[in-house]
A = this chain, B = another copy of it.
Amino acid sequence: MTTSGFICGLDAALAVIGGKWKPLILYHLAHEARRYGDLRRAIGTVSDKMLIQQLKELEADGIVDRLDYKEIPPRVEYSLTAFGKTLAEALKPLCAWGTEHVAEVEKVVSRRGTSAAESAA
């Protein structure tokens, strides 16, 4: 058994950033460390359950770092690890591609169910 499941690295990468909220998390964390609630507010429409879950997976993947200040009231900061930053680097071209072709993509995707683009006037 190859035990390697992944055929073209792309699979591996997608397994890491494929979660519904992961790209957004990565995006917001790329600039600077963020507190939990801060992050949630930044993303806007994510539930605690999902945010925590995705955050934990990213943490398990070694992409993000969790810093607990052990204070009362609680204060926790999330940030990208060095490893996570290499991922962010690798993501840049794709991000640029997406930005450049947002219009086309959005148009077609919205036809598939208004999943990502809701208020596309």
Contacts from A to B (Cβ < 8 Å) = 1-18, 23-24, 26-27, 57, 60-62, 83, 86-87, 89-102, 104-106, 108-112, 115-121
Please determine whether A16 and B105 come into contact, CB atoms closer than 8 angstroms. Answer: yes
Beyond A23-B14, A95-B10, A95-B13, is A5–B90 a contact (Cβ under 8 Å)? no
Q: So how many copies of this chain end up in the complex?
A: 2
Which of chain B's residues has its CB closest to A60's CB? Answer: B108
Residues in chain B near residue A13, CB distance under 8 A? 94-95, 97-98, 105
Among the listed B1, B10, B101, which residue makes an inter-chain contact with A12, where contact means beta carbons less than 8 Å apart? B101
Beyond A90-B97, A97-B13, A111-B60, is A117–B8 a contact (Cβ under 8 Å)? no
